[in-house]
């Protein structure tokens, strides 16, 4: 059974978000200087138009909320979309993988960050074999690392594996 | 015409050079493999590869990107037919009949008519592109900044307001994309805008981070949250791949009709292939001698939409190459690819980089033929690709997505931004905000701003240039009709309905 109050609240929050973004942009835009140099239209012109556009859209969305909800909404019934209900654990595992990678990539290096990312994301998608996933991630990360660093000359951080990766003579 | 043929012949010289042929081959193979993967489209693929191909020669890289562009469409139809999860709105029409055919054990002919139809439509559309491009270039050379600005506004409005379910949500995303496009140094005055003193923001928001965040991270979060526990049913490819005489007889008129619908729709800024595929489906259903088969696996219902999809995707390249105007998210990424080499698509590119442009066009003939050769014999390989479970598939997608974003500046800030755009993409998908206007706004916004300022600088600040130049005035009128027409029609209908 689709949950009307949840939908209404989400629509309200998102509409207010668009409006708030427009107002924030307007505040910044009105502090920008007028025409500088030879250009007749200054760097503050487009920002004002865009801020105004966002404010109008925010108000329009709010008007739709006030008059019975957004028009042409996405179906709230997950089953009707061929999906299951929102799975917070899956969402959190995927996010955790990305955070782990952010935390690790600098110091621990690309390969270890890839291992953590791969393990967490696989877990989020329902895999129950963390060791195998981590090993797969490390292997893929290593292959990618060698290919990009040695072949494409894209620099990636070796991190803790620097002695190993540097010493391989590649 | 003879000039065009000479240019095209020179283009074939470029496209058939062994190294470019290799890049084209890599592109179509990669494109097909990636297009087969559910959840990965051509826009994402090109965006992920963009930071990694900086050091390649532009001709080779762009030939590869073009190969990915239409390779991914071939791959996408395989997924649609065998898995019934249309990856993009343009594949929904194919899914209607294609998956039904596969369920009835006719996956082979369905895949064959999609592949051969795509080849026929793609080749005819490329011929039309070859003939049309020089004509548009002729006209476009007369365009001034006012005309360009009007054209860009028209493209913004059609992509944002007309396509998609909701005008207001489309326009919201357009303005959001335009706002992202404003971040960084204003290149005309050196003024810093919306950067808040953060060094990573001074160069502006990179299209790679935005597109990969919205498409890859957003998609992964969405699928994890709403689909990871769903089972997928993959149809088997059994029996002959070949189409019977009857299949051929029913397919070829559909291919040709669909090409005639698809190509023009691609060339106008009506963003993508959704409308022409459905038009083609409806037309085939109406003209068919076997209307009762529709809904149960009618081959015309696969042949038409697939051909329309391919023809319109080729048509999209007309405004992109000749005017520098992208009308779909993928075209916007391709424009970014040109820009990363310091090239600006448009009429001047046909003059200054003639061998690159015509090499690219010639490579499309070659690529379509390559795809036909690759696609059907290798169907077994693509089916194996389809069998990759979701967990390693999405973990791998995210690994490559983050790799692309990180290698831009070797900066963790880009990874944080990437995740933020991923969450944005998740919210947009869940609550029905379209992605294309945001991407197009980011890429095209700065170009539109500079055309706008140039137009006013030339007219010495007189804003009437936009309505006194006839082409510009006509485009603004058209924009107003497109934007307000549906609203007025709805209001009238409501009044009549009481």
Per cent of chain B over pLDDT 90 is: 47
Once rounded to an integer, what is the mean pLDDT over residues B411-431? Answer: 94
> How many C-beta neighbours within 10 Å does residue B99 have?
23
Which of A70, A78, A155 lies nearest to residue B166, judging by beta carbons? Answer: A70
**Interacting residues of A131 by C-beta distance below 8 A, sequence separation 6+:** none
User: Which residues in A lie closer than 8 A to residue B431 (C-beta atoms)?
Assistant: 10-11, 14, 70, 73-74
C-alpha B245, offset from chain centre: 34
Mutate which: A10, A38, A43, A55, vs B, most B CBs within 10 A: A43
Reference B175, options A49, A61, A27; nearest CA is: A49
Quick check: B229 and A86 CB within 8 A? no
Confidence check: pLDDT of B482 > 90:
no
- Whether residues B394 and A64 touch (CB distance < 8 A) is answered with no
Which residues, given as ranges, of chain A have pLDDT below 50?
Answer: 1, 167-170
Q: What is the per-residue pLDDT across A49-70, written as a single tens digit (0 to 9) for each? A: 999 999 999 999 999 999 988 9
In a mutagenesis test of the A interface, which of B99, B179, B223 is the best target, namely the one with the most A β-carbons within 10 Å? B179
Q: Do B226 and A87 touch (CB under 8 A)?
A: yes
pLDDT of res. A169 = 42
Q: How confident is the model at residue B73 (pLDDT cuts 50, 70, 90)?
A: confident
In this prediction, what percent of chain A has a pLDDT beyond 90? 58
Check B178 against A50: CB less than 8 A apart: yes
Strand ranges (E), chain A = none
| Cβ-Cβ contacts under 8 Å, B193 against chain A | 28, 32, 43, 47
- A118 contacts B399? CB cut-off 8 A: yes
Q: Which of residues B76 and B446 earns the better pLDDT score?
A: B446
Over residues B120-142, the pLDDT tens digits come to: 999 999 999 999 999 999 999 99
Determine, for residues A105 and B228 on separate chains, whether the beta-carbon distance falls below 8 Å. Answer: no
Per-residue model confidence as pLDDT tens digits over B298-333: 999 999 999 999 999 999 999 999 999 998 888 999
SS (HEC) of A50-89 = HHHHHHHHHHHHHHHHHCCCCCCCCCCCHHHHCCCCCCHH
pLDDT greater than 80 at residue B59 = yes
Least CB–CB distance from B168: residue in A40, A41, A64? A64
pLDDT value at residue B87 = 58
Is the CB of B230 less than 8 angstroms away from the CB of A61?
no
Closest-CA residue to B122 (of B361, B330, B377) = B361
Alpha helix ranges (H) inside B16-91: 18-36, 42-49, 58-83
Nearest residue of chain B to residue A8 (CA atoms): B431
With contact defined as beta carbons under 8 Å apart, do B129 and B392 qualify? no
Q: Do B169 and A70 touch (CB under 8 A)?
A: yes
- Answer yes or no: are the C-beta atoms of B394 and B224 closer than 8 Å: yes
Best to test chain A binding among B152, B160, B172, B192 (most A CBs inside 10 Å): B172
Q: How confident is the model over B159-215, as pLDDT tens digits?
A: 887 777 788 999 999 999 999 999 999 888 888 899 888 888 888 899 989 999 998
Check the CA dihedral B360-B363-B365-B370 and report its sign: negative
| Residue A64: predicted pLDDT | 94
* Residue B378: DSSP 8-state: T
- Residue B416: Cβ within 10 Å count: 16
- Smallest CA–CA distance, residue A143 to chain B, in Å, is 12
Q: What is the DSSP letter of A10?
A: H
pTM of the model: 0.91
- If residue B264 lies in a helix (H) or strand (E), which one and from where to where? helix B245-267
pLDDT at position A84 is: 87
Whether B240 shows a pLDDT value over 60: the answer reads yes
Cα of B455 to nearest chain A Cα, Å: 10
Residues B1-32: pLDDT tens digits? 788 888 899 999 888 899 999 999 999 998 88
Give the model's pLDDT for residue A166: 65
Q: In B271-411, which ranges are E strands?
A: none
Query: Rounded distance, CA A8 to CA B351, Å?
Result: 55
For the stretch B430-440, pLDDT in tens is 999 989 899 99
Q: Establish whether this prediction's ipTM goes over 0.85.
A: yes
Candidates B175, B408, B490, partner chain A, best to mutate (most A CBs within 10 A)? B175
Q: How many CB pairs lie under 8 A apart between chains A and B? A: 209
* DSSP line for B149-209: HHHHHHHHHIIIIISSS-HHHHHHHHHHHHHHHH-EE-TTT--EES-TT-HHHHT---HHH
Distance, CA of B320 to CA of B297 (rounded, Å): 36
Q: State which residue of chain A sits closest to B161, comparing Cα positions.
A: A57
Of B212, B226, B227, nearest to B421 by C-alpha is B212
CB B448 within 8 A of CB B187: no
B389 has pLDDT over 80: yes
CA–CA gap between residue B72 and residue B75 (Å, rounded): 5
Tokens of B66: 């073009």
pLDDT-derived band of residue B498, with 50, 70 and 90 as boundaries?
Answer: very low
Measured from the Cβ of residue B485, the count of other Cβ atoms closer than 10 Å reads: 11
Looking at the complex, report in whole angstroms how far the Cα of residue A169 sits from the nearest Cα belonging to chain B.
Answer: 23
**Nearest residue in chain B measured CA to CA from A87:** B225
Question: Contact at 8 Å (CB) between B400 and B175?
Answer: no
> What is the predicted pLDDT for the residue at A153?
76
Of the candidates A61, A97, A101, the beta carbon closest to that of B168 is on A61
Phi-psi region of B461 (alpha: psi -120 to 50; beta: other; left: phi over 0): left
Report chain B's mean pLDDT, rounded to a whole number. Answer: 88
CA distances from B81 to B40, B87, B95, B402 (A): 16, 11, 6, 30
Structure token digits, residue B363 = 């490579």
Q: Do the chains contact at B457 and A88, CB–CB below 8 Å?
A: no
- Give CA–CA dist B493/B411, Å, rounded: 54
Instruction: Select the residue from B57, B162, B201, B399 to test the A interface by mutation, using most A Cβ atoms within 10 A.
Output: B399
Half-sphere exposure of A20 (CA within 13 A, CB side): 6
Say whether B396 and A18 touch across the interface (CB within 8 A): no
Tens of pLDDT along B29-57? 988 888 888 777 788 888 888 877 777 88
């Amino acid at each position: 059974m689709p949950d009307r109050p949840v939908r209404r609240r989400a629509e309200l929050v998102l509409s207010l978000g668009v409006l708030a973004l427009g107002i924030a942009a307007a505040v910044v835009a009105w502090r920008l200087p007028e025409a500088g140099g030879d250009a007749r239209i200054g760097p503050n012109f487009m920002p004002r138009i865009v801020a105004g556009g966002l404010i109008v859209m925010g108000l329009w969305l709010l008007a739709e909320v006030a008059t019975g909800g957004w028009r042409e909404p996405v179906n709230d019934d997950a089953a009707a979309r061929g999906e299951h209900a929102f799975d917070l654990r899956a969402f959190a595992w995927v996010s955790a993988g990305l955070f782990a990678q952010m935390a690790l990539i600098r110091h621990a290096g690309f390969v270890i960050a890839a291992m953590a990312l791969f393990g967490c994301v696989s877990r989020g998608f329902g895999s129950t074999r963390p060791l195998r996933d981590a090993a797969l991630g490390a292997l893929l990360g290593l292959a990618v690392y060698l290919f990009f660093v040695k072949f494409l000359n894209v620099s990636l951080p070796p991190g803790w594996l620097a002695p190993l990766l540097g010493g391989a003579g590649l | 015409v003879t000039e065009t043929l000479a240019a095209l012949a020179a283009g074939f010289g470029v496209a058939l050079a062994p190294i470019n042929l290799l890049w084209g081959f890599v592109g179509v193979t990669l494109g097909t493999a990636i297009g087969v993967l559910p959840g990965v489209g051509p826009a994402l693929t090109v965006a992920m590869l963009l930071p990694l191909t900086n050091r390649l020669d532009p001709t080779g890289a762009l030939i590869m990107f073009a190969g990915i562009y239409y390779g991914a469409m071939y791959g996408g139809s395989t997924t649609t037919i065998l898995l019934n999860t249309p990856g993009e709105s343009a594949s929904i029409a194919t899914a209607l009949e294609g998956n039904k055919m596969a369920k009835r054990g006719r996956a082979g002919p369905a895949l064959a008519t999609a592949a051969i139809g795509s080849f026929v439509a793609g080749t005819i559309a490329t011929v039309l592109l070859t003939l049309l491009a020089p004509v548009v270039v002729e006209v476009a050379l007369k365009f001034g900044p006012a005309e360009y600005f009007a054209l860009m506004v028209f493209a913004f409005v059609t992509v944002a307001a007309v396509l998609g379910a909701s005008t207001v949500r489309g326009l919201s995303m357009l303005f959001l994309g335009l706002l992202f496009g404003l971040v960084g140094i204003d290149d005309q005055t050196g003024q810093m805008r919306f950067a808040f003193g953060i060094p990573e923001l001074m160069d502006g928001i990179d299209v790679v981070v935005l597109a990969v965040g919205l498409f890859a991270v957003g998609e992964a979060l969405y699928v994890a949250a709403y689909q990871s526990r769903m089972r997928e049913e993959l149809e088997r490819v059994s029996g002959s791949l070949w189409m019977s005489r009857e299949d051929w007889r029913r397919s070829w008129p559909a291919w040709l009709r669909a090409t005639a619908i698809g190509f023009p729709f691609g060339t106008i800024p009506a963003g993508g292939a959704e409308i022409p595929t459905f038009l083609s489906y409806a037309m085939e259903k109406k003209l068919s001698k076997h209307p009762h088969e529709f809904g149960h696996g009618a081959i015309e219902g696969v042949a038409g939409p697939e051909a329309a999809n391919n023809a319109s995707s080729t048509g999209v390249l007309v405004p992109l190459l000749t005017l520098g105007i992208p009308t779909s998210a993928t075209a916007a990424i391709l424009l970014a690819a040109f820009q990363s080499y310091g090239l600006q698509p448009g009429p001047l590119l046909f003059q200054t980089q003639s061998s690159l442009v015509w090499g690219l066009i010639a490579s499309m003939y070659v690529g379509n033929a390559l795809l036909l050769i690759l696609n059907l014999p290798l169907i077994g390989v693509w089916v194996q690709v389809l069998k990759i479970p979701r967990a390693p598939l999405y973990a791998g997608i995210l690994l490559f997505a983050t790799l692309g974003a990180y290698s831009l500046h070797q900066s963790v800030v880009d990874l944080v931004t990437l995740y933020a755009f991923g969450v944005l993409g998740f919210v947009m998908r869940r609550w029905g905000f379209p992605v294309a206007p945001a991407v197009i706004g980011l890429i095209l916004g700065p170009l539109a701003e500079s055309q706008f300022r140039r137009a006013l600088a030339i007219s010495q600040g007189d804003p009437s240039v936009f309505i006194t130049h006839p082409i510009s005035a006509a485009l603004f009128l058209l924009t107003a009709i497109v934007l307000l027409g549906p609203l007025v029609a709805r209001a009238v209908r409501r009044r009549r309905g009481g």
